[in-house]
Copies of this chain bind each other. A is one copy, B any other.
Amino acid sequence: MSNIRHALSARRADDFAQWYQEVISAADLAEESGVRGCMVIKPWGYGIWERIQRLLDDRIKATGHDNCYFPIFIPLSNFEREASHVEGFAKEMAVVTHHRLISDGKGGLIPDPEAKLEEPLVVRPTSETIIGDAMARWVQSWRDLPLLTNQWANVVRWEMRTRMFLRTSEFLWQEGHTAHEDAASAKEHTLRMLEVYRACAEDDLALPVIAGEKPENERFPGAAETWSIEAMMQDGKALQAGTSHYLGTNFAKASGIQYQDREGSQQFCHTTSWGVSTRLIGGVIMVHGDDDGLRVPPAIAPHQVIILPMLRDKEGDEELLAYCEKLRAAIAATSSLGEKTRVLLDKKPGKAAAKRWDWVRKGAPVILEIGGRDMEGGTVSLLRRDRLWAENGKPDFSTPTVEDAASSLPAMLEDIQKSLFDEAATRRDDNITRGIADMDALADFYSSDKRYPGWVEVQWSKPTGAALDAVVEKLKALKLTVRNVPVGGAVADGTCIFTGEPAVERIYVARAY
């Protein structure tokens, strides 16, 4: 199939990073804003985010959470309360020091020295401390627990090296924050939200993920336990796609979140926090994209079906448009994946072939082209984005009747959703290597000329403290990190690849974003 003329110039197999940038641009997802580390999310990219929001928000509400909104500014002193939290974040925050600008007398503007804040404000990098303040006001008694809140917001972490969707100074996310009576219920909730993330990633985004616990050194600053979902990108690297933290009583003590228990005595709450961000879109690109652009899973596609009338700027166009509009209405009346099918009749000016390739690059799941001859024959030219090319190297159009096209779309969209997941899951499983039993073999494996080596499952003795630091250093030399200890992973039966001691669990190590 070497005669295929792909829609992108970069190839995944040649230069994955270059390819990633080209997809973002060719699918019109986002662009650099000119403001350091901040991106502009364009309509197609933002539309995907809106779909993710809608589906995840439903899941978050179904598990009993209410959405709230908390201030973007956090007083500096809030960060001084939780030592390890500030340690983790203090290096990368935007600090507001003035509340007014004045003229510099030369036609420019400067911060007004008269308007310096007594206490600087930090633009939230995450909201544990400010939401902790609110929880301390809201929680009085065990009857107020569990307190289950969530917010959708922008956050800022000053990043030196940025990459669109994966690491930007400002990003969009949701952050859930909950308070519970005891460790058991808080830990149970931490895992419940991890499962919500797994379900959203796999069922909505078609991203196969491995849910598990992060090692001690990878914990969120201030957390007692950090759990993650990890996805494998097409270059074999791991992407941490969401995290759920059990915070113990650390933040409750810092913010004074206390309740009167059933026996009448004061107790500190056990809290959790958990978040996913626009980074998920980076994962969708790197898992589902191909050499023709993005492929958007139907569940999160802003438009699932595109109708492209082959207009010719002359007589007959109106009749063709009316015909397409009738088809649009018929498709819009069907349901796919539990919702009304989202169909767009694209009437914008431009050549049909050019518009087709725009939608291929954007990754709309199904494209229906309709010209005058199709109309006469009562057929459409249908292109499935996940099976773009025929054996002959040409776009693999089928030509069902217009009735068959409309009625078969719901099942087709479900099939595309499933196919994208299956393809990614098979690739992920094919790229996990097991049985490497010592560090030399691990080093050999990752220094071989295999371009995208994937993940390795190894057994370890779960070292902590200085012993863990030594392991982290060893891995760092190979540019590797421990991803997580999978939930429900196979029992360990060997020796630790790092310490030689009896292994207690199996972990994944990988290169990562």
A65 closest partner in B (C-beta):
B43
A29-51: CB near B (< 8 Å → 1, else 0) gives 00101111011111100110110
Is A480's CB within 8 Å of the partner chain B?
no
Q: Size class of A's contact patch?
A: 35 or more
Q: A71-B40, A74-B35 are in contact. Are A100 and B91 (CB under 8 A)?
A: yes
User: Complex formed: what's the CA distance from A77 to B104 in Å?
Assistant: 12
Is A96's CB within 8 Å of the partner chain B?
yes
Q: Is B137 a contact of A79 with CB atoms below 8 Å?
A: no
* A433 nearest CB across to chain B (Å): 39
Q: Is A121 a contact of B101 with CB atoms below 8 Å?
A: no
In the assembled complex, which residues on chain B have CB atoms less than 8 Å from the CB atom of A98? 94-95, 97, 120
* Stretch from A105-113, A177-185, A306-314, A440-448 at the B interface: A105-113
Count of identical protomers in the assembly: 2
Which chain A residues in 119-173 approach chain B with CB under 8 Å?
120-123, 130, 133-134, 137, 143, 149, 153-154, 156, 158, 170, 172
Q: A35-B130, A41-B69, A170-B73 are in contact. Are A99 and B94 (CB under 8 A)?
A: yes
Q: Is A122 a contact of B95 with CB atoms below 8 Å?
A: no
User: Complex formed: what's the CA distance from A42 to B110 in Å?
Assistant: 36
Q: Is A156 a contact of B72 with CB atoms below 8 Å?
A: yes
In the assembled complex, which residues on chain B have CB atoms less than 8 Å from the CB atom of A338? none
Contact of A93 among B46, B99, B110 (CB under 8 A): B99
User: Complex formed: what's the CA distance from A100 to B111 in Å?
Assistant: 18
* A388 nearest CB across to chain B (Å): 25
Contact of A68 among B41, B66, B77, B170 (CB under 8 A): B41
In the assembled complex, which residues on chain B have CB atoms less than 8 Å from the CB atom of A35? 71, 73-75, 121, 130
In the assembled complex, which residues on chain B have CB atoms less than 8 Å from the CB atom of A67? 43, 46-47, 50
Q: Is A33 a contact of B133 with CB atoms below 8 Å?
A: yes
User: Complex formed: what's the CA distance from A67 to B41 in Å?
Assistant: 9
Q: Is B33 a contact of A70 with CB atoms below 8 Å?
A: yes
Is A80's CB within 8 Å of the partner chain B?
yes
Q: Is A73 a contact of B94 with CB atoms below 8 Å?
A: yes
User: Complex formed: what's the CA distance from A72 to B37 in Å?
Assistant: 11
In the assembled complex, which residues on chain B have CB atoms less than 8 Å from the CB atom of A432? none
* A282 nearest CB across to chain B (Å): 15
Contact of A79 among B90, B93, B99, B109 (CB under 8 A): B109
In the assembled complex, which residues on chain B have CB atoms less than 8 Å from the CB atom of A80? 107-109
User: Complex formed: what's the CA distance from A50 to B71 in Å?
Assistant: 17
Is A86's CB within 8 Å of the partner chain B?
yes
Q: Is B94 a contact of A121 with CB atoms below 8 Å?
A: yes
Q: Is B72 a contact of A101 with CB atoms below 8 Å?
A: no
A50 closest partner in B (C-beta):
B67
Is A349's CB within 8 Å of the partner chain B?
yes
Is A423's CB within 8 Å of the partner chain B?
no
Is A415's CB within 8 Å of the partner chain B?
no
Contact of A73 among B38, B121, B133 (CB under 8 A): B38
Known A38-B72, A79-B101; further 5 A-B contacts with Cβ < 8 A: A31-B134, A72-B154, A76-B101, A95-B98, A95-B100
A and B contact pairs by CB, cutoff 8 A, 9 listed: A35-B130, A40-B71, A41-B68, A71-B170, A76-B101, A94-B121, A95-B96, A95-B101, A96-B96
Q: Which 5 A-B pairs have the closest CB atoms?
A: A43-B66, A38-B71, A41-B69, A95-B98, A99-B158
Interface residues of A (CB under 8 A from B): 31, 33-36, 38-43, 46-47, 49-50, 66-77, 79-80, 86, 90-103, 107-111, 120-123, 130, 133-134, 137, 143, 149, 153-154, 156, 158, 170, 172, 349
